[in-house]
Amino acid sequence: MLNYEMLKTLPKVDLHRHLEGSLRLETLVETAREYNLDVPKEIESLRPFVQVTNEPPDASSFLAKFETLRHFYRSPEMIHRLAYEVVADAARDHVRYLELRFSPQALSRVQGFRLEDVTQWVIDATQEASRDFNMDVGLILTLVRHNSLEQAKQVAEIGMRNQHQGIRGLDLAGDEINFSADPFKGLFVEAHQAGMQCTIHAGEWCGAEAVRFAVEELGAERIGHGVRATEDQYVLDLLRERQIPLEICLTSNLQTASVAHIGRHPLRQFMQNKIPVTLNTDDPRISNITLTNEFESAVQHLHITYEELRQMTFTAIESAFLSSEKKMRLKQLFSIAWKPTLRDFNAPPSSFPHGNNKSH
């Protein structure tokens, strides 16, 4: 019964999705033609530059897609459209709560837009899409390890000033092998003091020590990926004792060679250690997946059960950067569709809000 169509009907939460890795190829081709960009102008020709195809798993190859993608942020209108479509695509996969992270630096770099401006364009677009598709979208601003600390400070300050507009947290991402997280410690202390919540990319390519540092020194309330945490029992114990949720992204972990084989993915090991886990997409258009695909992969390759998927979904709600009242409302809505056991499962009733599937 746990097939793709059944899994797609279920309401979902995605806590780890990058705007920059979620752009429609069709829109990219239109943009390339409109602005005469120096990239292929047919979908199949462009695909290898912006999507993982047949290349061997490799972090550098995966990250190179972003170098091409940054050339498509050509105007306020284009950034608005791209951000709106990301939310629309999530809604079509029945994602009912989305935390969308993005780097204002990446969106502004080629055209020299002001960081404050591109942030506002994304806020406006996602708020419009949130209304159109009857879903809640929270934004997370991503600081980049391999960019300057001064630029990261500007982004953090923008986030702190715009919490009332749906910016719900800060993230730290980028090259964790060659760039330490230590210089950013003060920014995260300041963000916490301002009431912002924080998630940190750690233990994706570096070892378990990166996860420990993110939790103990940066105050991470969630960890992006964290697959290398299995290398140190102290870190596993730390995650369990503090109940730090992991944002697991199965497909991207394989494509970046963070995990050698799907059968060796540590998802179930984390579950056995009673560490909270959630399933997410990371960069769905780069990986050519949906969140339903990630659920299906967990079922097929890791033998995750319906009841375990349900638990991960409700863990994602509890781990969301939301107020207790909003979490409670989401749990009530999700309980309509997510029955306690597969035996009790029936198709979600029509009263569950699906959004109106408006196109832009």
Catalytic residue set = 204
CA 32 to chain centroid: 26
Measured CA to CA in angstroms, residue 231 lies from 200, 249, 284 at distances of 18, 18, 28
Q: Tokens 């198709």 appear where?
A: 347
Task: Let me know: does 229 contact 211? Beta carbons within 8 Å.
Answer: yes
Give the C-alpha separation, 319 to 297, whole Å: 22
Report the C-alpha gap between 21 and 173 in whole angstroms: 13
Residues near 319 by Cβ (< 8 Å), separated by ≥ 6? 15, 221, 222, 245, 276, 278
Closest by Cα among 234, 159, 237 to 199? 159
125/79 Cα distance (integer angstroms): 8
- The two structure tokens encoding residue 226: 């964290």
What distance in Å separates the CA atoms of residue 130 and residue 136, rounded to the nearest whole number?
6
